[in-house]
Amino acid sequence: MRVFKIGIIGLGKIAQDQHIPVIQANPAFALVAVSSQRGLSVAGVPHAFKSHGEMLERAPELDAVAICTPPQVRHAIAREALEAGKHVLLEKPPAATVSELVDLKRLAEKAGKTLFATWHSQCNRAVDEAKRALAGQAVKRLHVAWKEDVRRWHPGQTWIWEAGGFGVFDPGVNGLSIVTRIMPEPVFVRRAALEFPANADAPIAATLELSTGRPGEEFRAEFDWRQTGTQVWDIMIETERGTRLTLAEGGRRLTIDGAVVADEPAREYQRIYERFAALLADGQSDADDAPFRLVADAFLVGRRVTVEPFHP
């Protein structure tokens, strides 16, 4: 089996929680380099650099890089990596704007390299089962509730409150990535209300009215970062035939008409790297921009509501 030499760029929360251990446990990859602005290193990983530029120059053996930085800087880093002849895995959201992602697809194609825009919440068996169950059906009701405590999940992260940091859409796009994966017809944003704290450039909450364009639909998504206590990452769907699906716990658990169809421990990042290995072996890319377009559209049509300042 071919082993792909990979480097991680940006050693923040998700790199440490998921990318490092998952890559190290996957025999298709060898983690040979990391780059960290703060100068962090990882035990057993031969190279540690302070910038991605240094990594690309001084670790020529790298086949691929995983970019785990905030989204604002992803395009510039991915561009340099592709131009240096590396395959690229992007954390979500894949870039700062839709046009940047389109550009990265073009650059990957031109370089003949794999570009993988990951959507980790899609990588659950329950999501696959929901997609199968909904195929060919008409959906009457859709309710997405993604409500979590920003202080608990994003401690010390200032970039999420800056323009281009996406605010509550940083987790919200995970729910939307499941919606775009499982819905039998494409949905779009009809109306949105975005709640911006008076001291931030990104929303703390958002409500979206979604539609496929069919009359009589009730499609709604609610994202809120002010949730304390029970954290909610649920999607409820009712079809025209009256079938009710509930995807709970971020897409990990599926019930259909009350019966449990899938309920397995999450292995989202394991599946991400299994898919990346398959894409690399086949010379393919996977850079679906559908979830990202819904976020962009919410900002396009969204009404801005100013709410009380947020203090972390």
- What residue ranges bind ligand NAP (CB under 6 A)? 10-15, 36-38, 40, 68-71, 73, 91-93, 120, 157, 170
Pick the closer one to ligand NAP by CB: 167 or 302. Answer: 167
Q: Are 204 and 310 in contact (CB under 8 A)?
A: yes
SS3 134: helix
Q: Are 223 and 172 in contact (CB under 8 A)?
A: yes
CB of 10 to ligand NAP, least distance (A): 3
Pick the closer one to ligand NAP by CB: 70 or 197. Answer: 70
CA pair distance 13, 68, nearest whole angstrom: 9
CB of 24 to ligand NAP, least distance (A): 17
Q: Which two tokens stand for residue 312?
A: 């972390």
CB of 293 to ligand NAP, least distance (A): 17
CB of 77 to ligand NAP, least distance (A): 7
149, 93, 13, 50 alpha-carbon torsion, rounded to 10° = -150
CB of 263 to ligand NAP, least distance (A): 21
Q: Are 100 and 75 in contact (CB under 8 A)?
A: yes
Beta bridge partners, 303, equal 193
Q: Are 56 and 85 in contact (CB under 8 A)?
A: no
Q: Are 252 and 124 in contact (CB under 8 A)?
A: yes
Pick the closer one to ligand NAP by CB: 16 or 243. Answer: 16
Q: Are 171 and 119 in contact (CB under 8 A)?
A: no
CA pair distance 298, 190, nearest whole angstrom: 8
Give residue number: closest CB to ligand NAP.
12
Q: Which residues are catalytic?
A: 92
Pick the closer one to ligand NAP by CB: 162 or 238. Answer: 162
CB of 21 to ligand NAP, least distance (A): 14
Radius of gyration of the chain measured on its C-alpha atoms = 20
Q: Please report, for residues 3, 155, 202, the alpha-carbon distance to residue 115 in angstroms, rounded to integers and kept in the order given.
A: 18, 30, 28
- Residue 9 CA, distance from chain mean position: 17
Pick the closer one to ligand NAP by CB: 4 or 292. Answer: 292
Q: Which two tokens stand for residue 150?
A: 């920003």
CA pair distance 41, 51, nearest whole angstrom: 12
